[in-house]
Structure 1
Amino acid sequence: PPPPPRSYGGGGGGSGDAADSGGASDGAGGRAGILGMFLAGWAARVAADPQFPFKVLMEELVGVTACVLGDMSSRPNFGLNELDFVFSTLVVGSILNFVLMYMLAPTPGAYSLGSRVATLVSKGTTFAVVGFGAGLMGTAISNGLIALRKRMDPAFETPNKAPPTLLNAGTWALHMGISSNLRYQTLNGVEFLLGNVMPPPVFKVSVIALRCMNNVLGGMSFVLLARLTGAQKSDKPASSDSEAKERLI
């Protein structure tokens, strides 16, 4: 059977020589090896898809903005009472969106349905692990900012309890392994097809529109998942209509 579809792996889309020459020494040599692997992988992705840098740029600028707006729109009071959660989503989302783009750069081929399903499962597992690690990082950053704020202003009280670290990381793992994996694999395939039939200016506009919609959907789906798992929930009960009207007066 044909091999699974070639979505480039985490560091490696380039030549083995670059990786071997970079990893020969410890310390600075090891860091240079990692950087060399990344640069080689980046070059391979650009060679396979000249529009790859533009897609990454739009993902980080337009996509992350849309993701944050989708996240905030799914929260009470447009997320203004939960800015700590929103910031955590912003940090983790920025990291994960780049990882998704880098690791899911597709190449065409006559792949069987079984090979495509195997790739979907293997990438989902990889992204779940990455999502768990990024979730730990995002929670640590969010909790650190809250602690710093309390140190500067002892009277400050957070509107929400800090999310359980492992539960929040597990929620990110589920989101990455299932929702993000399905959405980005589909999106990358659609973009790859559109790039072959659309003029470059029209294609770039379609990339912006598609990534906006994808990230808004991603932000909203994460909030729903976080509510379901209990990783993120507001401590303040919903106000009655009369209380809301009083605040507006």
Structure 2
Amino acid sequence: MAVTTPAIATNRFLPRSISYRSSLSLPSISTVHSRSLSLTPSPRLRLRFSSSSPTRLRLDASGPSGPAGPNGPSGGGGNGDEGGDGGDSNKRNREEAMLVLAEVGRGLETLPSDLAAAIKSGRIPGEIVKRFLELEKSPLGWLLQFGGFKERLLADDLFLTKVAIECGVGIFTKTAAELEKRRENFSKELDFVLADVIMALVADFMLVWLPAPTVSLKPPLALSAGPIAKFFYSCPDNAFQVALTGTSYSFLQRVGAILRNGSKLFAVGTGASLIGTGITNALINTRKAFDKDFAVGAEDVPVLSTSAAYGVYMAVSSNLRYQILAGIIEQRMLEPLLHNQKLALSALCFVVRTGNTFLGSLMWVDYARWVGVQRSRE
């Protein structure tokens, strides 16, 4: 009794099982010592390899066992907040994706290599895999063999609907906007109208394509790439798009998305304008040869200045409007509200995109006159 009382007092803060074990082992100290030596590596191995969660490591390390104490902080501190949550999210994504594949009897080897690699690395949650399997069975399945279409369709199953909306209504809304702004001068400025509509239609597809949210399936960038290339490579395609589970974008990366898309749209706008104004000038010169009255009022559209002006307009105005439209209005507002009502969602997207296209045409006419590439004819 005198022997066990100090043991109970000493261990009153320990769990009952540990205190009981200590009181029984007093008669044979050498046995306990040899047992503790033989069992010590096992918990250490469990702590190091059985879980990557820093929370679990800290709990185990703070236990009453002596050897685990120093091992816990030194082993768990390095992974702190930087990799712990991401590792858990990646593991969860991988498990969800594999479960979806198992339900339909599919394996990673049956998927495209880029999608399979993304699943292995835990970048793709189960809902994206489920969407891929649904798209694969649809009439649009053949588009999944093209990386750009696949990334956009996985992020938005109405992507092609939005392309059709943009290009389908483009010619009508842009012509209506030209008529609204030019009014009685519409017929006199028909060459300008034609140039505007042509270059706008050429650019319409890219205005939907470039700012569209995507599910990134890109492989890691080469280690030899420079810091600027690495930065822009890590930026999302849409500055406001929702990040998938296990993925996050910093404020600078989202700003980088605007800058990167702006540079691409500048090139697209300049190229589209060169084509549009080139065709328009050819038509004007052809008509001048046959219609002397038309030759008096018509003049060539300034190709280079108009192309540069349209490139700047696309990089700034169109870039920001379409980034906000696709990333905020459609993905963050309309999609959660009408997720299971695709027809209503498509109708609202039609209304919003039609209004945006009309607004863009009005803004272009004012901008073109402001920078001097077009003049009002009285």
Task: Tell me the residue number matched to 2:358.
Answer: 216
Per-residue deviation, 1:43: 3.4
Per-residue deviation, 1:197: 2.0
Please state if 1:134 is matched with 2:276: no
SS at match of 2:177: helix
How many pairs were matched up?
206
- Give the Cα separation in 2 of the matches to 1:154 and 1:37: 54
- Give the Cα separation in 2 of the matches to 1:154 and 1:229: 30
Q: How does 1:93-108 map to 2 (within 5 A)?
A: 93-107=200-214, 108=242
Provide closer, same or farther for how the CA distance between residues 52 and 187 of structure 1 changes in structure 2, counting only shifts above 3 A. Answer: same
Pick from 307, 313, 323 the counterpart of residue 169 of structure 1.
307
- Give the Cα separation in 2 of the matches to 1:38 and 1:232: 44
- Give the Cα separation in 1 of the matches to 2:251 and 2:160: 29
Per-residue deviation, 1:178: 0.5
Q: How does 1:1-249 map to 2 (within 5 A)?
A: 39-77=146-184, 79-107=186-214, 108-109=242-243, 110-157=248-295, 159-189=297-327, 190-193=329-332, 194-198=334-338, 199-234=341-376, 236-237=377-378
- Give the Cα separation in 2 of the matches to 1:102 and 1:78: 34
Q: What TM-score, normalized by structure 2, do the two folds share? A: 0.51
Stretches of 4+ aligned residues off by more than 6 angstroms: none
Cα deviation digits, residues 11-48 of structure 1 (max 9, x gap): xxx978xxxxxxxxxxxxxxxxxxx9994422332232
Per-residue deviation, 1:51: 0.3
Where do 5+ consecutive residues of structure 1 fail to align? 2-13, 17-35, 238-249
- Give the Cα separation in 2 of the matches to 1:231 and 1:203: 39
Letter in structure 2 aligned against 1:227: R
- Give the Cα separation in 1 of the matches to 2:370 and 2:113: 44
Q: Highest Rg: 1 or 2?
A: 2
Give the % identical residues.
32
Cα deviation digits, residues 133-190 of structure 1 (max 9, x gap): 1111111011011111122334432634322211101110111011100100000011
Q: What TM-score, normalized by structure 1, do the two folds share? A: 0.75
| Aligned alpha-carbon RMSD (Å) | 2.5
Where do 5+ consecutive residues of structure 2 fail to align? 1-81, 83-111, 115-142, 215-241
